[in-house]
Amino acid sequence: MTYDVAIIGAGAIGCAVARELSRYDCKTVLIEKENDVAMGTTCANSAIIHAGYDPKPGTLMAKYNAEGNRMAGEICEELDVPFRRCGSFVLAFDENDMKTVRELFENGTANGVPGMEILSGDEVRKMEPHVSEECVGALFAPSAGIINPWGFALAMAEQAVLNGVELRLSFAVSKIEKEGGNFVITGKNGEKIAAKFIVNAAGVYSDDIANLIGDRSFTQNSSKGQYYILDKNQGELFDHVMFQCPGPLGKGILVSPTIHGNLMVGPDANPGSGKDNTATDRKGLDHVIAASRKTTTAVNFRECVRNFAGVRSEPSTHDFIIGFSGADDHFMNVAGIKSPGLSSSPAIAADVVKMLLEAGVPSGKKENFLRGRKPLRFKELSPEEKKAAIAENPAYGHVICRCETITEGEIIDALHGVIVPKTLDGIKRRCGAGMGRCQGGMCGPKVLGIIARELKIPPEEILQNRDGSFILTGKTGKGGDADVL
Ligand SMILES: Cc1cc2nc3c(=O)[nH]c(=O)nc-3n(C[C@H](O)[C@H](O)[C@H](O)COP(=O)(O)OP(=O)(O)OC[C@H]3O[C@@H](n4cnc5c(N)ncnc54)[C@H](O)[C@@H]3O)c2cc1C
């Protein structure tokens, strides 16, 4: 069959476009090279829904950020995605920084950011007592928020699939040809997909995908950013997102609570680090610690539960690239989506779909657009609700992840959801098992056993994360299947 639209890349952008398109009677396929959605940059970033004062007025980043911020709040409400509009500060430490703070205020005003204020150092410390005495003032933006970024993309992808979008995972696009006016997209394993329109949302690889149709109008460099995630006893140090003034390499080192109750510190910037390079290193992490000391000396880095790195897209245009390609008017680039790409994704998607409909994609609106899901989060229930949940399904009474209090029932729900995870990290992204202090050291084998049992796959075939990340190498002893539960 020939699809009306093929979206390449299931990150925040591809998932948001798929969700928006699924409102219409058009045949859409969402293609992803990994074995799950949201495994690229969308999975590894600062998880901030930015207010919108950073981008220079007149850029596409400015156009989409503040509107995306507003829409993200609505989508999280609709799809029950964890999101807290906690507000952000940009801290100033001298008069030069205060000049930047005033410029950001001007940008924000021009970009339509609501409720901003410029505060004195003392006013900042009244709201955030752990901020350094050296801070002389700050920009405060109450509309910024913290989110679960992969949960956001997954929820949008699930709603799209519920409304008829086909999801093709483990399909790494390697060739795009034109046959009889349509695109024929070939995957690395030889599978083919035909489509009338392509949306190129391949993140840091978007320039490589554009090259497949001969579009060489932009290139993308990469810049790795590394982070600390600290245990929940550090999560209470700050209520707001604490930025320093931005510099030539981006927004600088932030200290921020996460939506899961931890504290995040980072990222550094490593231009030219490589599109696939998500390794962390001592030098970069030491820089993160040293730079964060300017904001606060209260963080105890010995409470680190995890380090990670995400790869920024650094487009040659220094702005988002959104529109039909000069090489083919049925091929749309949604490329160069650097920060604030997560925040902007809903607004970008709305515009992309408007452009597709204007270009001839079927525009009949579905009568029964399904609103989607509300996953049960056992630990958030009241004692009475917990009792009722266990009475209905005893698996909610069996805690598997002790750090995060995640029950067997929630893991089973995830395994029978709209987009079925087949990896330990897929379960972690959906219900949080393995996200706590021990990082799955205790519950990992049990989760593996539940995946094997529910999906009827041999335990040794279950992966940690990406293809090839096997956990078990084979059976020991002479018995049959190990009872991992
Ligand atoms: C360190 C860092 C911090 C950031 N912090 C923030 C923040 O706080 N707030 C914010 O708004 N933004 C932030 N961003 C930016 C934000 O994360 C990105 O703009 C956003 O995630 C980009 O989404 P995407 O869908 O374009 O890319 P991705 O999430 O990378 O998705 C692209 C997808 O395409 C797939 N793909 C690639 N090639 C192929 C192929 N050949 N075939 C099939 N599929 C393919 C990939 O596997 C991937 O899943 C940050 C980025 C970084 C790196």
pLDDT tens by residue, 297-317: 999 999 999 999 999 999 999
Angle subtended at Cα 387 by Cα 384 and Cα 388, rounded to the nearest 5 degrees: 90
Letter for the amino acid at 320? F
Arithmetic mean of pLDDT, 212-223: 96
Percent of the chain residues past pLDDT 90, beyond the cut:
94
Closest C-alpha to ligand 1, atom 14? 339
Tell me if 7 CB under 6 Å of ligand 1.
Answer: no
Interval between CA 192 and ligand 1 midpoint (Å): 24
CB of 338 sitting under 6 A from ligand 1 = yes
Class of domain 1-83+146-219+316-374: alpha beta
Q: Is 50 a catalytic residue?
A: yes
**What pLDDT is recorded for position 480?**
53
Q: Which fold has domain 84-145+221-314?
A: D-Amino Acid Oxidase; Chain A, domain 2 (3.30.9)
Least confident range of 15-19, 396-400, 435-439, 478-482: 478-482
- pLDDT surpassing 50 at residue 89: yes
Q: Which atom of ligand 1 is nearest to the CA of 338?
A: 19
Q: Is 456 helix (H, G, I), strand (E, B) or coil?
A: coil
Q: What is residue 91's predicted lDDT score, i.e. its pLDDT? A: 97
Q: Over range 37-51, report the average pLDDT.
A: 97
Pocket test for ligand 1, best of 8, 34, 41, 429 (most atoms within 8 A of CB): 41
Sorting pLDDT into bands at 50, 70 and 90, what band is 250? confident
Q: Which atom of ligand 1 is nearest to the CA of 13?
A: 25
Question: Which pLDDT belongs to residue 292?
Answer: 97
Reply yes or no on whether the pLDDT at 476 is more than 80.
no
What DSSP letter does each residue of 271-292 carry, written as one string? ET--TT-----HHHHHHHHHHH
Domain boundaries, the chain: 1-83+146-219+316-374, 84-145+221-314, 378-461
pLDDT at 479 over 60: no
Q: What is the pLDDT of residues 163-181, one digit of tens each?
A: 999 999 999 999 999 999 9
Give the pLDDT score at 485. Answer: 46
CA distance 52 to 446: 43
How many angstroms is it from 39 CA to the middle of ligand 1? 8
Q: Give pLDDT, residue 473.
A: 84
Q: Is the CB of 11 under 6 A from ligand 1?
A: yes
Task: With H, G, I as helix, E, B as strand and everything else as coil, classify residue 125.
Answer: helix
99 contacts: CB under 8 Å, gap ≥ 6: none
Q: Is the CB of 64 under 6 A from ligand 1?
A: no
The finding on whether 22 has its CB within 6 A of some atom of ligand 1 is no
Three-state secondary structure call for residue 226: strand
Distance 45 CA to ligand 1 centre (A): 9
Atom of ligand 1 nearest to the CA of 31: 43
Q: Which of 50, 240, 260, 330 is catalytic?
A: 50
- Let me know: does 80 contact 233? Beta carbons within 8 Å: no
CA–CA gap between residue 265 and residue 250 (Å, rounded)? 15
Statement: residue 79 has pLDDT above 80:
yes
Q: How far apart are CA 113 and CA 340, in angstroms?
A: 14
pLDDT at 186 over 80: yes
If residue 448 lies in a helix (H) or strand (E), which one and from where to where? helix 444-455
Instruction: Calculate mean pLDDT across residues 352-361.
Output: 98
Residue 47 beta carbon below 6 angstroms from any ligand 1 atom: yes
Nearest to 432 by CA among 405, 451, 412, 392: 405
CA 202/CA 11 separation, integer angstroms: 8
- State the distance from the centre of ligand 1 to the C-alpha of 395, rounded, in angstroms: 35
Tens-digit pLDDT profile for residues 104-156: 999 999 999 999 999 999 999 999 999 999 999 999 999 999 999 999 999 99
- To test the pocket of ligand 1, the residue of 42, 71, 200 to mutate (highest count of ligand atoms within 8 Å of its CB) is 42
Lowest mean pLDDT among 253-267, 410-424, 462-476: 462-476
Ligand 1 centroid – CA 265 distance (Å): 19
The DSSP code sequence of 364-404 is PBPSS---------GGGS-HHHHHHHHHH-GGGG-EEETTT
The CB density around residue 467, as the number of other CB atoms within 10 Å, is 12
* Ligand 1 pocket residue status of 339, Cβ below 6 Å: yes
- Is 172 close to ligand 1, i.e. is its CB under 6 Å away? yes
**Residue-level pLDDT at 418:** 95
For the CA of 343, the nearest atom of ligand 1: 11
Kind plus residue range of the DSSP H or E element containing 69 = helix 60-79
